[in-house]
Structure 1
């Protein structure tokens, strides 16, 4: 969107500010009316009246009428979820706080700000609450002190800090301080309240997006977006750098066919959605690519299918054409097997599902039978635990090293995402030692031995020659440091999560110049999902998983993602079945959602999921929807778009991990963060030696020697990285930790 006509925050007059503010209520009412609400739920307009009316009246001032309690916080969080980006797990996290602790913490934060006027300190107090990151903390503080504290809303940040441009937001304390300072300057100049600044910003940015009806805009008139570029005006190079996410012109909502609707887990609510026109997709489509990260799915959560650029319909048409009957038959077989597998998972414990093996057993020749059983389960599940890779006391010492490194380098800032604090640190002593540790390298070598290279049945064996993949030679991939907000070593036994994700791109999995370069999923798209081998390295090494510069990108070929001593993860342990399902899902639609009203809700839902209720969309009628996929974002998996996965039953929490245990999972595995139970997360992916990985390691070696961020992360954190950090290790430290093999993995030894 262009912003030439946006009123500048530096120059807006008091009169114009008041005019925009006067339109806020109309704006909220219009947006609220366009969004469907379940029966009994409060509308956005009703929640907004509470947020800016009753809440401020009750909780603000030197002598508030009452203290804010957990239920009040939950209502405000509900408003936040309806007002901006939807996060399906946030409310559950917030609800898990102890009521007395909430009241005490909110009171402490309010008194801290009243006494010191230090917004950073007050936010730090509030973020002790589970589910409360800097953005949500600012909401609570803005209710307590509406005259001086502004809510960290996207619209406010874009208008005040980005001149109306939709830049990537990390939602960290540093960004909020910038927003707070800019809001303070405007409040001082116009003698206004911070709470009014956020509402004016909302109107201005929503008007810029064209969300407001013409008759509802301010007296300046509607700001029209610039003409959109046509395909002819966009060259191929530009498309590869930043391809457009949405269609140029969406279909009228009332005429959208049923196969473009989300499959609603609540079948009665799903049926209810068929009557009125659907609300516009709420997806932040205009955000800059790369706004999401591995641990920040807040920036993109699909509540309805999203129409992408028309070329994606052409991609789907091409895949289906000539293979329609085979794909339809394959889908039917897949649904049967998927149902059987998930039914089985629901009867087993996590320890029965997720295989584990002691590190000592992978080193003993006498453990051959046990290793074979482990390997069979790993290939089926796509996830495993190698126990005791690093001695417990060593693992605990690494955690202590992290704390000391952070303490010695207090200038290091982290980005909070409710459950995790992500530090743009790559070269702390703990990270460097763990990557070079002989046992870690041995565990990675063992894990990567489960992959195979080109064989006669490899989809890539009939195309271009496959580069050499040396799975017996692990190389280092330096990732960031991640610390959970809450830090016990144990893991919850159950998962209540309705959204999950898959790393390494999203739409690229369907694109010819993405994973299609290596024909990674060719068997699935040709109608024989059973022939797909997720462990064929020859069908991976040439793939291009990042065509859009996404923030969660990984330029290296990873055979496994790996975390040391981690809790707080859940997985769908069906790497082959689940991948085939989410890849084929966009080609199919339910025949009907209307059922015999005499059926129970469970029976309705079973009928909806039945294989007989789903049909292949004809090639010429394929739309541009790729359920849960959007350029530059990770692949999202949720109950609305992927109903047959039954995430409530198929997502399994990993068993309890001890310090020094090594968790590994396949790059195609569906996984989800669950509330923060784990130690400091040292990310240790298992990467084989390939030509492309060797080139990446060469760049990474230079970054290590200079103390710069790793190559895939040069856009985040300080430009100086860790160049001046106290205690940053060097080559000698790598040698002492891992000898020649450790040096070789880092590209420091031939």
Structure 2
């Protein structure tokens, strides 16, 4: 078999160039024939050959002469985009975005760009004009210019970039203007040296990088079969392997989602004390029966009830009565209880007040369209490229395996999302419902979100398993036994524990911001104050990807009081336990609070654990830190009928569920206010970001896992050696000064902050030398 070689762009001869150009048509015909089987069966879809004839034939003849004054219409742009998607990387959302442009706007914008290049020969300015259109990035903009100026402008194709800028090898591409200018410059150098056109350079690059796939020939072989001279060729580097027993994975490109290799999975599960567990299935304890804790917890419970037996019993009776009403309310409405608002409406007083009222009542809400569709699609592609390129990413799998939790914290998409102005605005809007009624002097600034770097979750629709195979269960984040311990978060729930749950305010942050919710330093336990946990969707997620029990105040009171009482079922009489035992149902030191029907029957999870509606790209779902929830399990069919938002905020942008062939990608994105505790964490996390290490809450688990990676291995820490890991400049470009401040990378302007004392405190922690 001939050795696959690629002639160097700097040394390729005219004869070699012409021989490759002559092979372009057969190469496209072979690729078109191979793709024809995947085309739609009704025959309406154009073949690659037909689209290619339009792109290099009719389109160039119509627009590619200096004398041409024919305006390019939206339909013609769409035809070129269709060629681009078939000729290279398929992106299912691109055509929809391009089609959403107004026809008159397309004609006017393309005409302005063509005029700008014709008059000044400034390809950068022309590209910037074209990228004002929806769905038109630098690559598509270059295509429109290349059709109009085939002699001097090259299309930003992957193959051209690999050959001219990557020395004949596949390499990461960011698809920005800077890269395109470098590509166009190299194309002009080659075109001037050989006296050829830019459009021919583009086609030769396609042959050199693709022809081996279509014909089996070595791309460096001339038409008569003679091998190119050794000193004029560059060897294509071998494909990198993940391991000796795994298939090759190509270096990342903007690949078709339909043809992406499976994302690399490596399971990691570590306990707080360092012992390894065989799988993630035991990370969250599945307790069919109550578990006895150390005797000190029995003593703690006795102290809680001593002298208040009648008060607490009466409180329990009132709670069960009110919960019964709420169970009926939630069960009758199902997912409709979850409020929604369009991001564009958050500044509307009427819409905001309605949303905030229901967010406080139910503890969960959806902000639709926080991130534009095209931005979400770009981030989705970036995540897949980052994961495939950096194959050492660790993952944990839910049980049964319906979603993967990727232990990635600093991918470009995550960093950009956390700094994005819309995300920060949505977080400020959501956190504005929190109060400091207990202590008005508390140092809590909900107008200044701070970043908490968490992980990615990928939902695989095709993973085996069903809802029937999983026991009904959920969890509450933020520790478990700490809720009853005076040194933990018990002060937050003082009213509940003294028998006055009606006075408990779930959205008062004055005490919550000061307590310790992680007394046992559990691996991956959150040590900061999150006003809301959240998920941002990069693409569509199905209904039920997140399930919630939307009665945050009552459910919290029930979780706390339930261990003090004894009973066998919902219909039975429950009595205060005498004496108290050490059981805290579903709670173990170092774990999240487990919630299940056998331990918490009055919650009626079969009726109150409702599906969060489907999310579209750029949608943001948030929930209270004490809310009972479940993430990443198989969604069951809608139990409560169709969604009817009559009388509620109705988002104008409908969520779009992704087709089953594509995994759903979301990132954990909590909303965290500026407090002393959070500023201290941010200082430590800032160092993690700069080094590429996992955040402080995740570092110990990562190092324990790395220690067990194998004898003689010296793994890098986190993402420190990952390719394309972003830095400070990327944060600045994504979010400006506010994005930098959220990451602790830029000091607060104390004179302009609403909470001056909090700003001074944070600056003293983060920038002590100022």
Where 1:482 maps in the other structure, the secondary structure is strand
Give the aligned partner of residue 408 of structure 1.
389
Deviation of 1:699 (Å): 0.8
1:543 aligns with 2:518: no
Q: 698, 708, 712: which is aligned to 2:693?
A: 708
Determine if contact 2:479/2:525 at 8 Å carries over to the other structure: yes
Q: 577, 584, 592: which is aligned to 1:617?
A: 577
Counterparts in 2 of 1:467 and 1:535: CA distance versus 1, 3 Å: same
Q: 486, 495, 500: which is aligned to 1:523?
A: 495
Deviation of 1:438 (Å): 0.2
Give the aligned partner of residue 736 of structure 1.
733
Distance between the aligned counterparts of 1:362 and 1:293, measured in 2?
46
Where 1:539 maps in the other structure, the secondary structure is coil
* Mapping 1:323-722, distance limit 5 Å: 323-350=308-335, 352-363=336-347, 367-417=348-398, 418-453=401-436, 455=437, 458=438, 461=439, 467-486=442-461, 498-516=472-490, 519-565=491-537, 567=542, 568-590=545-567, 608-610=569-571, 613-618=573-578, 621-676=579-634, 679-717=664-702, 718=706, 719-722=716-719
Write out per-residue CA displacement over residues 332-365 of structure 1, whole angstroms, 9 at most, x where no aligned residue. Answer: 0100110110111111141x210000000003xx
Count how many residue pairs are aligned between Structure 1 and Structure 2.
442
Deviation of 1:372 (Å): 1.2
Where 2:585 maps in the other structure, the secondary structure is coil
Counterparts in 2 of 1:466 and 1:317: CA distance versus 1, 3 Å: farther
Counterparts in 2 of 1:722 and 1:298: CA distance versus 1, 3 Å: closer
Determine if contact 2:368/2:620 at 8 Å carries over to the other structure: yes
Determine if contact 2:535/2:621 at 8 Å carries over to the other structure: yes
Determine if contact 1:389/1:660 at 8 Å carries over to the other structure: yes
Where do 5+ consecutive residues of structure 2 fail to align? 1-242, 250-263, 636-662, 707-715, 748-770
Deviation of 1:294 (Å): 13
Where 2:433 maps in the other structure, the secondary structure is coil
Deviation of 1:628 (Å): 0.3
Distance between the aligned counterparts of 1:739 and 1:697, measured in 2?
18
Distance between the aligned counterparts of 1:712 and 1:533, measured in 2?
28
Distance between the aligned counterparts of 1:627 and 1:296, measured in 2?
20
Give the aligned partner of residue 95 of structure 2.
none
Where 2:449 maps in the other structure, the secondary structure is strand
Distance between the aligned counterparts of 1:287 and 1:685, measured in 2?
23
1:303 aligns with 2:288: yes
Deviation of 1:549 (Å): 1.6
Counterparts in 2 of 1:535 and 1:291: CA distance versus 1, 3 Å: farther
Where 1:581 maps in the other structure, the secondary structure is helix
Determine if contact 1:294/1:634 at 8 Å carries over to the other structure: no
Q: 744, 749, 756: which is aligned to 1:747?
A: 744
State the TM-score, normalized to the length of structure 1: 0.56
Counterparts in 2 of 1:413 and 1:722: CA distance versus 1, 3 Å: same
Deviation of 1:679 (Å): 2.1
Where 1:344 maps in the other structure, the secondary structure is helix
Counterparts in 2 of 1:692 and 1:536: CA distance versus 1, 3 Å: same
Determine if contact 2:267/2:279 at 8 Å carries over to the other structure: no
Distance between the aligned counterparts of 2:591 and 2:275, measured in 1?
7
Determine if contact 1:475/1:687 at 8 Å carries over to the other structure: yes
Where do 5+ consecutive residues of structure 1 fail to align? 1-117, 125-170, 177-283, 594-607
Q: Larger relative contact order (C-alpha < 8 A, sep ≥ 6)?
A: 1
Distance between the aligned counterparts of 1:293 and 1:557, measured in 2?
31
Higher CA-based Rg: 2
Q: Which deviates further from its counterpart, 527-536 or 719-728?
A: 719-728
Determine if contact 1:569/1:654 at 8 Å carries over to the other structure: yes
Write out per-residue CA displacement over residues 577-619 of structure 1, whole angstroms, 9 at most, x where no aligned residue. Answer: 11100110000012xx5xxxxxxxxxxxxxx424x7011123x
Deviation of 1:395 (Å): 0.9
Distance between the aligned counterparts of 2:274 and 2:387, measured in 1?
30
Deviation of 1:477 (Å): 0.4
Determine if contact 2:459/2:632 at 8 Å carries over to the other structure: no
Give the aligned partner of residue 201 of structure 1.
none
Where 2:333 maps in the other structure, the secondary structure is coil
Determine if contact 2:334/2:608 at 8 Å carries over to the other structure: no
Deviation of 1:466 (Å): 6.0
Deviation of 1:428 (Å): 0.5
Give the aligned partner of residue 86 of structure 1.
none
Counterparts in 2 of 1:175 and 1:696: CA distance versus 1, 3 Å: closer
Distance between the aligned counterparts of 2:552 and 2:275, measured in 1?
26
Where 2:386 maps in the other structure, the secondary structure is helix
Deviation of 1:722 (Å): 1.1
Determine if contact 1:561/1:684 at 8 Å carries over to the other structure: yes
Distance between the aligned counterparts of 1:686 and 1:494, measured in 2?
33
Where 1:347 maps in the other structure, the secondary structure is helix
Where 1:504 maps in the other structure, the secondary structure is coil
Deviation of 1:482 (Å): 2.0
Determine if contact 2:267/2:280 at 8 Å carries over to the other structure: no
Counterparts in 2 of 1:378 and 1:371: CA distance versus 1, 3 Å: same
Q: Which deviates further from its counterpart, 670-679 or 691-700?
A: 670-679
Determine if contact 1:476/1:687 at 8 Å carries over to the other structure: yes
Deviation of 1:481 (Å): 2.1
Counterparts in 2 of 1:296 and 1:361: CA distance versus 1, 3 Å: farther
Counterparts in 2 of 1:468 and 1:727: CA distance versus 1, 3 Å: same
* Mapping 1:33-432, distance limit 5 Å: 173=266, 288=273, 299-350=284-335, 352-363=336-347, 367-417=348-398, 418-432=401-415
Give the aligned partner of residue 202 of structure 2.
none
RMSD of Structure 2 on Structure 1 (CA): 3.0
Where 2:475 maps in the other structure, the secondary structure is strand
Deviation of 1:687 (Å): 0.5
Determine if contact 1:559/1:666 at 8 Å carries over to the other structure: yes
State the TM-score, normalized to the length of structure 2: 0.54
Distance between the aligned counterparts of 1:293 and 1:475, measured in 2?
35
Deviation of 1:390 (Å): 0.3
Counterparts in 2 of 1:527 and 1:120: CA distance versus 1, 3 Å: farther
Distance between the aligned counterparts of 2:375 and 2:280, measured in 1?
27
Deviation of 1:424 (Å): 2.1
Distance between the aligned counterparts of 2:318 and 2:278, measured in 1?
35
